[in-house]
Structure 1
């Protein structure tokens, strides 16, 4: 009755790896789902999104209405076009100045659950970038929404929205609260008409193409903040893990940080940026990506019907020995050699095509600066040197990672 689902849920990555080894770059998961693995297949899937494929990310089951999904995608694209402007240097630098304060309010001395701490930090950081002074209460409401989504995303069998389940009701309530909060903030900001705020909301309200509706802005901001909460928090948890296991890498990061100012631009931290890129290669938080077929089409010879699903594992793509040398080892230097560029379409931590992550630049800036501040000002140690087990049930996270952090007596000087 459930096909491969039970075996897949026992070991998601292991199941996909075994199937790829046995069946090759394309195999059928069930009657309506295929899995692809080659860079060209993945690239075609992503670049044809919004045309032949649609990005659907609801944690609940429901009738596949591809035309509604297409209309939603068009609204998202329109809003996103205006939102790109929100990542220009003036807004980004104003956010970077505030980000340092947020970091040191969140990360202090003592033992910490790394994922929980970083979820708190990136929730506050993203709310600041999107809403600046109007972010009061948003990080907590965001965290509540993410916590409600998590148990639903860990189960391959999706529940319909009418299902009499505590988990479904919790998700519906948290989503409603977040949208209501966003609606109130957008309405108040539009009425105030304050052009001085240096954040994403001000850019969206001042869009020159055509006025975006409040509903478009609310949904766009919610989507941005949800994506920018769990994903960078998970990525930074892996960064902390690698910092506590690779003293050679940590020493080089500290040496680079010693000659930088308090809020450097990313270009001043080439090794730190390379380290972040390499962590995203080894441990991509969104390790499994899917698309829904919008209309009958073909992908690398496979006939697909409307409503079918196509999946690919970013984790497997990033570690495929056909495309990467020493694929399972952290090697930041591979990003510092201009002649050792990765094979095309084999490195996609932020996706590609029309639905490439709108926060790519923002995410890299936040991760790079947070790494810089961490190695500059904090000493880290694992209280127990136990093996960390990757958890593939939702986002790819290091299960139960805890560290002790202690403020350095004095920041290193050049």
Structure 2
């Protein structure tokens, strides 16, 4: 049985109406058809948290998280094998990261943030572009350490080449004679070649006494192939170029339009007198603000999975290759699950009696393919917010005029600000 949904137009279905106003279309469809509706003959959209959780929990088994910016034939066996290789590399990498290597990255992260802000101190800047520069450098440092030089620029081009393809509801085959597709192919190959070159260069060096970065960790695992290491590092570099940048941009925007939250975070930052970098546990107010920003403005506002075989989700029947989509943004703002859902209330994360409804908070996804950078992302976002409030002041008089843009990522449009040193 298939759920009901808007019929759309002949040949193009609901694509035109959706692309004109993506969030408006989803809201209207949910209001008319409920928590599950058919977008087209091969795609359903789900809003119910337990169904979303079931979908994510069954990823790598009944559902695939594989996606492509170009049209390609879905191969369930290849997808399952790719998932197996990815998960093996991911488990090995995260097991090998220790407190020392994470603290070393956090120390370098502070210097990178200072450098990024210093480069534009005292003049209006596009905050998203500034944060992309910062997160690109930060993630390259985490993955490749001293071998990161030149990587942020390669990843930036790869991301820019992906954007016009990933942002379209229409997928075109990779063989199509198109400048956009040709640019995507060149950028992809340049990224893979750059990562492979660094893997081979590092492999030829004597092993360090302890891991300095993710590449050291992965190369110390005897069963991982060069391809697995390459894919994992590329995946992290691409994912962490835009998502943390969008999250940090929304954090700065929220602090700019809510001076009371800025004061709350700045007061907490001023009380830290310990040596080195504070642990996240010492920054409960700052962490709560970050969590609330991720609830209100999850950068990955739309996610999806592909059925690997005929199956069911709840009462709905799915065929192999059917798509299931869901929106963390709409789940996070559903008044059934969240009191005052459209208000920024960090205190909801500080009161143990106000725990969120189960499965209703998923800025990083869930299940076996939960975002590989969840812990790293929270570390980076919380510490960056700490450093921002402790060392700088932000002026953004037109911040309230920015509007959310639901494209590849959820970002605020035309958000500019100027940064000054705190006195």
**TM-score between the two structures when normalised by the length of structure 1:** 0.96
> In the TM superposition, what are the counterparts of 1:330-345 in structure 2 within 5 Å?
330-345=344-359
**2:242 is equivalent to residue 230 of structure 1:** yes
Query: CA offset at residue 56 of structure 1?
Result: 1.6
Match of 1:276 among 278, 286, 290: 290
1:133 corresponding residue in structure 2? 146
Total equivalences in the alignment: 407
> CA-to-partner distance for each residue in 1:318-349, whole Å, 9 max, x for gaps?
00000000000100000001121111100011
Residue 81 in structure 1 maps to residue 58 in structure 2: no
Q: Quick check: 2:399–2:415 contact (8 Å CA) kept in 1?
A: no
Within the candidate set 235, 245, 259, 1:247 is matched to 259
- Give the superposition deviation at 1:383: 4.6
Q: 2:176 aligns with which of 144, 163, 172?
A: 163
Tell me the equivalent position of 1:90: 100
Give a deviation string over 1:251-295, Cα, whole Å, max 9, x none: 111100001156212111110001000000000000000001000
CA distance in 2, matches of 1:94, 1:57: 33
How many Å apart are 1:228 and its aligned residue?
Answer: 1.1
1:212 pairs, out of 224, 247, 255, with 224
5+ long unaligned stretches in structure 1? 410-414
Partner residue of 1:355? 369
> 1:335-381, CA deviations, whole angstroms, 9 ceiling, x for partnerless residues?
00112111110001111111011111100000001101111111111
- How far did residue 85 of structure 1 move? 2.1
3-state SS of paired residue (2:353): coil
Q: Could you say what secondary structure the match of 1:291 adopts? A: strand
**Counterpart position of 1:149:** 162
Q: CA deviation at 1:57?
A: 2.2
- Paired with 2:252 and 2:300, the residues of 1 have a C-alpha distance of 18
- The one of 339, 364, 375 aligned to 2:378: 364
Per-residue CA deviations over 1:8-59 (Å, capped at 9, x if unaligned) read 0011111011101100111000000000110110000000000000002211
Q: Contact between 1:378 and 1:406, CA under 8 Å: does it hold in 2?
A: yes
Residues in 1 aligned to 2:399 and 2:280: alpha-carbon distance in whole angstroms: 32
Question: TM-score, normalised to structure 2's length?
Answer: 0.94
Q: Whole-Å Cα distance in 2 between the matches of residues 385 and 17 of structure 1?
A: 25
In 2: Cα distance, 1:282 partner to 1:158 partner: 29
Structure 1 residue corresponding to 2:332, chosen from 296, 318, 339:
318
Q: How many angstroms apart in 2 are the aligned matches of 1:102 and 1:385?
A: 25
Contact 1:87 1:362 in 2 (8 A): no
**In structure 1, how many angstroms separate the alpha carbons of the residues matched to 2:400 and 2:269?**
29
- How far did residue 173 of structure 1 move? 0.5
Matched residues in 2 for 1:82 and 1:202: separation?
11
**Runs of 4+ residues deviating >6 angstroms:** none
2:319 — aligned with what?
Answer: 305
Gaps of 5+ in 2: 1-10
